[in-house]
Amino acid sequence: MVVGLALATTFAACGNDSNSAAGTKTTGGSDSTAASGGTIKVGVLQSLSGTMSISEVAVKNSELLAIKEINDAGGVMGKKLEPVVEDGESKPEVFAQKIQKLLTQDDVSVVFGGWTSASRKAMKPVVEGAHGLLFYPVQYEGLEVSPNIFYTGATTNQQIVPALDYLKEKGLTKVFLVGSDYVFPRTANKEIKAYAAANGLQILGEEYLQLGDTNVQGIVQKVLDAKPQVVFNTLNGDSNVAFFKELKAKGNTPDKIQTVSVSIAEEEVGGVGVDNLAGHLVAWNYYQTTDLPKNKEFVAGFQKEYGADKHTDDPIEAGYNSVYIWKAAVEKAGSFDVAKVIPAAAGIELDTPEGHLTVHASNHHVYKTARIGMVNSNGLIDEVWNSGQPVAPDPCLDTYPWAKGLATGEARAECDAAK
């Protein structure tokens, strides 16, 4: 105990050294205090413990890699970046608390972080209230635009809608929906059902598993009984492992029932098992195998830093891009002031591992090329189809007639405000 207390006190001493500099300011990111001492603080907030650490630790690593690269190249406007890393503990309330701490107490200029919709929804009011800046690096269910958040992962029309288009084109029209029991899968499936009704897809069933639940036999049986051509899979985390193991054990192969997953990337393939996933489809905007010179550099840099056996994937790459997008916005604004950086970010163009990337002029999302991939026997993902050119982000699906009425209330107001 005494040891623990002594240790804690020591850490407290290290952890609190920012207090004096921060003074009594209540809003984050103005350059006067943040820029003092030739460094600029940036926050990195991912779950480093708890269930989500399975995926989020790697995103933290890629964000730190980008920060390191930028520092090695001289920093941003001559200032070195000083990352302040915090653990979101896979708990939304901790995300809410820690982002407030980062923005107001550590006075960071920007926060990179979040993964689950729950963590983002928890941070949103805080970052808006503190007039801070957050980059959220994961694909999500759409129907949201915040003036203080940039969404560098895909929204539904850049991932799910293209995947549905692909299924339709391939004649895989009998669909079974399987997902984790939370907002992303529920909302995604609502959108999928609206799409299906307008495009002649047939939904044979819709089942949900509690997040992290590995008791999948019942659901697998329901899927097999319904005899769909394809399972549209929005399961997250550990449930995927059990689901695909059971599906394979029951003798299913991709040529009998194909699956399309939107939450399984290279990082997850290893955990699910290559044998269980080979030949199955996934939908993302980036793969480790994406054949672009910028990506070769990125993969080499990531593996050099964290080990040759590490994979890169879409959220990892989006986390990495986020840092560079912010850097470009700061340089364009000529200031670290959030109020100046946010408008400057609009229209920024960058060469990234996933290709040429443009930040949307008003809705805080980015243009992304949709890519359908197939898991190969090495645990990597081969692209089998892409949208050819970057798809404009449309978080409220306003350009799709079948989606009329999906965005209501707050989402409607946010999207209208961002037009």
Helices (H), 104-211: 117-129, 156-169, 183-199
Sheet containing 381-386, strands listed edge to edge, beginning at the edge strand earlier in sequence: 202-209, 174-180, 230-234, 258-261, 281-284, 371-375, 381-386
Please state whether beta strands 202-209 and 349-352 pair in parallel, antiparallel, or not at all (unpaired): unpaired
Q: Which of residues 47-86 bind other proteins (CB under 8 A)?
A: 48-51, 53-58, 85-86
Residues 268-327 that bind other proteins (CB under 8 A): 268, 270-276
Binding residues with other proteins: total (CB under 8 A): 97
- Contact (CB, 8 A) for 355 and 387: no
Applying CB under 8 A, does 117 fall inside the site for other proteins? yes
Would you say 224 or 380 has its CB closer to other proteins? 224
Q: Which amino acid is at 244?
A: F
93 makes contact with other proteins (CB under 8 A): yes
Closest separation between CB of residue 74 and other proteins, Å? Answer: 27
The interface with other proteins within residues 4-43 (CB under 8 A) comprises: 4-5, 7-8, 11-12, 14-16, 19, 22, 24, 26
Q: Which is nearer to other proteins, 98 or 368 (CB)?
A: 98
How far, CA to CA in Å, does 79 sit from each of 45, 335, 338?
21, 11, 16
Q: Does 410 bind other proteins (CB under 8 A)?
A: yes
With CB under 8 A as the contact rule, the residue among 81, 196, 241, 348 that binds other proteins is 241
Cα–Cα distance for residue pair 150/135, rounded to 1 Å: 5
Say which DSSP state 102 is in: I
- Among 68, 121, 332, 340, the residue binding other proteins under the rule CB under 8 A is 121
**Order of strands, edge to edge, in the sheet holding 366-367?**
349-352, 355-359, 366-367
CA distances from 343 to 47, 177, 276 (A): 29, 39, 46
User: Which residues contact residue 216 at a Cβ distance below 8 angstroms, ignoring those fewer than 6 apart?
Assistant: 209, 239, 242, 243, 246
Minimum distance between the CB of residue 216 and other proteins, rounded to whole angstroms?
8
Rounded to a whole number of angstroms, the minimum distance from the CB of residue 317 to other proteins is 16
Q: Does 126 bind other proteins (CB under 8 A)?
A: yes
| Contacts of other proteins in 161-190 (CB under 8 A) | 181-183, 186-187, 190
Ranges within 186-215 binding other proteins (CB under 8 A): 186-187, 190, 207-215
**How far is the C-alpha of 168 from the C-alpha of 160, rounded, in Å?**
12
- Return the number of the residue (224 or 350) whose C-beta is nearest other proteins: 224
Please state the closest distance from residue 207 (CB atom) to other proteins, in A. Answer: 7
Our CB check for other proteins shows the closer of 147 and 347 to be 147
Nearer to other proteins, 134 or 348 (CB): 134
